[in-house]
Amino acid sequence: MRFAAIGLDHRHIYHMVGGLLEAGAHCVGFEPQTSDPRVLAGFRERFPALKEVAGARLLDDPAIDLIVCAGIPSERAGLAVKAMAAGKDVMVDKPGVTSFAQLAQVEAAVAETGRIFSVCFSERFVVPSTIVAGKLIADGAIGRVVQTVGLGPHRLNRAIRPDWFFDKTQAGGILADIASHQIDQFLHFTGSQDAEIVASGIGHFGEADLPDYEDFGEVLLRSDRASGFIRVDWFTADGLPAWGDGRLTILGTKGTIELRKYVDIAGRPGTDHLFLVDGAGTRHIDASGEKLTYFRNLIADIADRTETAAAQQHMFTVCRLALHAQDRAVRLPPRRTESQ
């Protein structure tokens, strides 16, 4: 499978390209245009053998099967539509879209071209412990899943963020962006085809000179099978030896699974800690050695026109629910009026 990278504006492009290369795909080249020279420099350092090629040439190359994009969020859907019209499948970083209009355009392009539009939800697809959790659930280890609680804290790293990062019209907002990870995991682990956003909120509690920047968000959602709660934020302290203490708790009728994906604070070293509580007791599982499946499954889907990496409708549903959560969110706390 041959692919190319267009849109080097976010560091997630590193694991997107790296995961495909590790799974056996061949990268034809990358478009060096970027809004963040530091991302481009990091890409060149990690992949020194890859060629720089103009984006138009990559789109026109009939031998390229897949376009990979981690561009400015508001520009990803437009590139995806162009790539699909050129006969290519697409993998984009989350958020895949930042508006309902963009989602409609992408859905129409998929229907018209038959191409694949995949969003790389890295907090599941690039985390080995989520694969182990899925196997345990499939084996009935915790019974029927009835709730998930997903926590997605992030470190702001303000000094290295490009201007678009703080512009909601370009970045999409905290729920449309990082909460899409937790919505993806809720649907996946509960076996839900769809859900409703019961309540959602956004807030700014941090730096005073960014009053409109959303640094906190929460979502309550439900399906016909389960319920879920999501909290996302940009308040990871500098003392944590990881960019965020991402956690997922999965409640079943016969036990629970908790994933501490990136760090076990004041505990065991490394990543991908899975804690299982069932009828037999409690257990820690080191899931860091589990092999990832998303990239090799996507390569197979491109060849076989299947949906083993993720169902196409699942991608659209996650995008839609994230947009609904963002669109319907109340302000937390409510803005004070002059009379208050």
In a domain, 208, yes or no: yes
pLDDT of amino acid 333:
85
Distance CA 215, CA 233 (A): 5
Domain closes at, from 120, 151, 180: 120
Q: Same domain for 68 and 146?
A: no
Phi, psi values for residue 53, rounded to 5°: -135, 140
Per DSSP (E only), the strands in the chain are 2-8, 26-30, 66-70, 89-93, 117-120, 145-153, 196-203, 216-222, 227-233, 247-252, 255-260, 273-278, 281-286, 330-331
More confident residue, 190 or 338: 190
Q: How far is CA 137 from CA 48, 122, 130, 261, 271, in A?
A: 41, 20, 10, 17, 20
Residue 177 has pLDDT above 80, yes or no: yes
The CATH number covering residue 256 comes to 3.30.360.10
Above pLDDT 70, what percent of the chain?
98
Domain closes at, from 51, 85, 120: 120
Domain that holds residue 264: 124-286
Q: How far is CA 119 from CA 133, 294, 297, in A?
A: 21, 11, 13
Q: Band of the pLDDT at 337, cuts 50, 70, 90?
A: low
pTM: 0.96
Peptide bond preceding 333: is omega within 30 degrees of 0, i.e. cis?
Answer: yes
Q: Same domain for 131 and 116?
A: no
In the block, which residue shows the tokens 């800690």? 273
Q: Band of the pLDDT at 335, cuts 50, 70, 90?
A: low
Query: What is the mean pLDDT of the segment spanning 167-184?
Result: 98
Burial 154-187 (b: 16+ CB within 10 A, else e): bebeeeeebebbeebebbbbbbbbbbbbbbbbbb
3-state SS of 125-170 is HCCHHHHHHHHHHHCCCCCCEEEEEEEEECCCCHHHCCHHHHCHHH
Distance CA 272, CA 255 (A): 19
In a domain, 332, yes or no: no
Residue 255 has pLDDT above 60, yes or no: yes
Quote the number of domains for the chain: 2
pLDDT of amino acid 194:
98
pLDDT in tens, 82-92: 999 999 999 99
Q: Same domain for 106 and 214?
A: no
Which H/E stretch holds residue 25? none
Domain closes at, from 120, 139, 163: 120
